[in-house]
Amino acid sequence: MLLSCQEPVSSSLYGSRFLAGRLGGSITHQCFYSTIPANKYERKYWCKVAENGVCYAIISSSSSPSGEYRGRVALRDVPQNGTLTVTMTGLRSSDSGTYRCGIGGSSQGLYVSLNLTVLADATAPRPTQLIRGELHGSVTVLCPSGDTQSDQKRFWCKVGRRSCALMASSDGYVGRSYQGRIVITPQDSSGAFRVLINDLRKEDSGLYLCGTQGPRAQDSPQEVVLQVATASALPRRPKFLSGAVGGSLSFQCHHDPKGTYEQKYLCRWKAGSCPVLLDHQGFVLESYRGRLRVSGSDPERGSFTVLLRQLREEDEGWYWCGARSGQSELTASLKLLIHKVRVYNSLVPFSVRTTACLKHDGDSKPDLMPVVHLPSSSGEPRLLPVVLPALLLLIFITITALTLAKIKLQKQAVSSPVFGPRQVHGVLGGSATVKCFYPPTPVNRRDRKYWCKQQGSKCLTLVSTGYVAPDYQGRISLTDHPEEENFQINISALGPGDAGTFQCGVGVNGRGLSHTVTLTLVEGPGVPEAAELFYVKLRSTWTVSCSFGEHTAELRRYLCKKEKEGCRNIINSHKEIDPDFQGRVLLAFEEPPGSFRVTMTHMDWEDTGLYYCGAGEYGVDNSSKELDVFVYEDKNFPQLKTTITGKNGSSATFECLYDPLKKSSTRIWCKWRKGGGYDTIIDNTGYVRYNYEGRVAMFEDPENKTVTVILNQLQTGDEGFYWCLSNELREQQSSIELKVVEGKPALTGKTEVEARAGSRVDLTCSYPCQYYSYQKYWCKWNNTGCPALPAQQQGLPGPAASCNASSREMVLSFDPLTEQDQGWYWCGVKRNGAFGETLAVRLRVSAGSDAKHSPELLDVDSSRESGAAPPGGAYSDAEVRKGAAPESPEESRGSNTLALVLGPLAGLILIVVTAFAIVKYRQMKRSDLVSVGSYRTNISMSDFESVRDFSASNSVKESQETPVGGDEFITTTMDTLESAADTTKAKREKALWVFPGSILR
């Protein structure tokens, strides 16, 4: 059988992807489906895909084959075990092609594809093995005999779209989702081996391959279809146990009481293997003797108890309980967590205060000795006047510190509380799992986690870090996952007394961060599915994927938010979007059919709540999933603007966050369509939309973990929402709205220039006074960016950029001009590494003599005029002294007197100014600086003030204040734009006349 790896079209229908048959022979193909009522009694079919893409039915459960297939094709359906078998005989060369076996009224229903190849010498395929398991249970997979050489690697992989994803192998590799719950046994004498899997999950269902692979080639693997029943009577037993170093721990291992087993054992799991530590026949591994034993057995209930004493740190890890019967094994896994015991020094009930006292013994040197101060005969302590004020001061400081700590703790609790499910349902005698999320701070990661039950005004601890209540020993556990910012509580053997109101929290009961959970117990198996939890950072992006089967592919897909009146539509596949979510929500279809993804950016406090994603209509169709979303504040998360404003003809700068920057990921910048979806404008692979050539460029900054996009030549049609997307980092996606207003760009110059090849051409870009101290540059645009051109003084061949400070012009010179120089050129400004405004110039090179030239663009004399400031705006000391007149003696004496008077005053003013500067600096550091933690962005608002002459950027927060300076990178909100321009213009004119040195420094 020829094998390849394709992703299953549906999670509920599986079968081989490739099959080879011998010419004139026969093939038997099996498809496996979930044994739900809808599948059992639905029409089954087998069809062949034609060149036009239509799949024409050959045979179905409601019709017989006709034409060339009559008498050669048979279909057999076994609904009891969900098996559909198709047999084709008398194979012909024309039978090669793509087929589908499926379920539904048409050939577009639920199906899985198969490529059949008819060869003259094909070998008979090995039949697919069907394995069924229960949720939380275990299975044993027997893999085929093979070469028994020691260098053969045994593997277990899951069939994917283009490859078979390795889950585990005999060389010690185990996939993340299979840690602690899969074992590949050694090969027996025939070369066969087994794969043992426990704690089965819904997502384990699928098509797998198991086999051996040597250094040269891979043996023919075994195809295995694993189906996990969603409804299971198996209880969910504790998976995590905790103990302290030096203590003891006992736990029960369960098996079927009606079964007959050759060996019941406990083994230590590590890297896909599990050596036996003890069994029920008395075997104990040498290194565990005296510490490990079977302390009890209950055959009637199918359990035995294991006792592990003198716990050590190295005992932490995964363990398996197992029961072997022939080739089959029942297994269950549990993880043991070992905590170090903290030893605290005993508190001294009293203290002795000593002071130094000098004692003289004749001529001997003074000694230092303790003296105990006693009260005087009058009964008044001699040191009371000294001790009492110090004691009162100490008490005041302590109370103040505690008050501040309490206020800080309350603020943290308000802004970043613990979050978890609101309600958890369980079955009497079964088990329940609760996952609680907490703010990812260093203190919280190390602090105590707890689960307590509310009784009146108290909350009694049932389990916490390193502690389990006596009545809950052996059936409750708490596992902390700091790297995932959550901890998990597992409760088994649920009884009526376990129902009630609980709290999961961090710190001290009732004083730290906590979340209230209601646990409800029922007798029957009809437990509602719990809501999926999402813990989302403020201002970040939330992404959720939903799938309801291929039969829902033609239905309306939606996301709605639960409110009192019903479920408020946020977005659906009919292009209906809530006005409050315009521009910040996307719905995209995914594979397999029936699956979709919703992305929402700029998450705010009011976005917290219950959502439903579904197919069809909410409340009418049963295809929906509950989503519980909680928004919390992470002060290290970067704050980007949601709206920027640019002027017609100017440019706008957008900043996208990608942490980390991956070489394999694709960074996309696109424009959101009002009806949903988006149009890609540029990406990091070199794609640029045809009508944006020369207008848009992408710049990556790996050190800052950002990508900057600049869009110039702004037009009214550019208004709208723009998205930063990535094919890998969905949480880094963001959106921003661009508004375009009327105004004059700060950078000016000719935007279209045509010249003759061989001539000299100077492209000129004029800038205003406020850009004098900024870094200027010229670059040549291409599809992957805009590399800067060398400055003129560097003496490099090709075009060279220069800056004339006196005329405030940036000049790009071509001498001589060549045909290769044709293209787009940008002049721009930067400050502190941040991109500012840009101007795009298109240069056309003609071969004839009829080129159009602008006088101001040709043969520009860039030499410095007499008295003009040199490039960079710096004057030498000599130049300053040349302009100064000599002073007279009277003026000198007046100056000395004035200095004596003004000196102390200047010193006082200096002190006041310094203090004021420190206060303003601290305020700026708290409010104006963009705090982005690991993103390493440190941009001051004073570097990017908003005035009427500006270019737009989204790299900092919006400011509602009227700007005062002259820097022009960032815009304010619309309602302050005019006042900002007028105020800035007036202050700039005053600065030019009163403080010329501050402008040309």
Tokens of 304: 């035995």
Percent of the chain past pLDDT 90, that is, above it, reads 17
pLDDT at residue 524, as a whole number: 63
pLDDT at residue 149, as a whole number: 60
- Cis status of the peptide bond prior to 65, with omega within 30 of 0: no
Whether 491 and 479 have beta carbons less than 8 Å apart is answered as: no
89-127 per-position pLDDT tens digit: 988 888 899 998 888 877 666 788 888 888 887 776 678
Local structure of residue 262 (DSSP, 8 states): S
Percent of the chain past pLDDT 70, that is, above it, reads 71
Least trusted range by pLDDT, from 161-165, 371-375, 592-596, 840-844: 371-375
Higher-confidence position of 386 and 949: 386
151-205 per-position pLDDT tens digit: 678 899 988 766 788 899 988 899 888 999 999 998 888 888 899 999 888 888 8
Average of pLDDT values for 9-15?
A: 59
Contacts of 907 (CB under 8 A, 6+ apart): none
Local structure of residue 551 (DSSP, 8 states): G
Comparing CA positions, the residue from 640, 638, 786, 654 lying closest to residue 720 is: 654
Q: How many whole angstroms separate alpha carbon 234 and alpha carbon 231?
A: 9
Comparing CA positions, the residue from 758, 745, 755, 949 lying closest to residue 827 is: 745
Q: How many whole angstroms separate alpha carbon 426 and alpha carbon 442?
A: 34
925-943 per-position pLDDT tens digit: 443 333 333 333 333 333 3
68-84 per-position pLDDT tens digit: 888 899 999 888 888 88
pLDDT at residue 376, as a whole number: 40
Helix and strand numbers (H, E) in the chain are 7, 60
229-254 per-position pLDDT tens digit: 766 666 666 678 888 888 888 888 98
Least trusted range by pLDDT, from 317-321, 556-560, 627-631, 730-734: 730-734
- Residue 556 burial by Cβ neighbours in a 10 Å radius (0-12, 13-18, 19+): middle
- Cis status of the peptide bond prior to 592, with omega within 30 of 0: yes
Map out the domains of the chain with their CATH numbers.
13-119 (2.60.40.10), 129-229 (2.60.40.10), 239-339 (2.60.40.10), 423-522 (2.60.40.10), 532-632 (2.60.40.10), 638-745 (2.60.40.10), 746-793+807-846 (2.60.40.10)
Distances in Å between the Cα of 967 and the Cα atoms of 300, 762, 821, 995 are 83, 27, 33, 17
Whether 425 and 530 have beta carbons less than 8 Å apart is answered as: yes
Query: Would you say residue 874 has pLDDT above 80?
Result: no
pLDDT at residue 118, as a whole number: 87
Average of pLDDT values for 578-603?
A: 87
Using DSSP's 3-state secondary structure scheme, residue 339 falls into strand
* H or E element in which residue 877 lies: helix 877-882
pLDDT at residue 235, as a whole number: 63
pLDDT at residue 605, as a whole number: 85
Q: How many whole angstroms separate alpha carbon 99 and alpha carbon 111?
A: 10
User: Is residue 918 very low, low, confident or very high in pLDDT (cuts 50, 70, 90)?
Assistant: low
441-471 per-position pLDDT tens digit: 888 888 899 999 988 888 999 999 989 999 8
Widest pairwise Cα distance in the chain:
132
Least trusted range by pLDDT, from 626-630, 773-777, 835-839, 945-949: 945-949
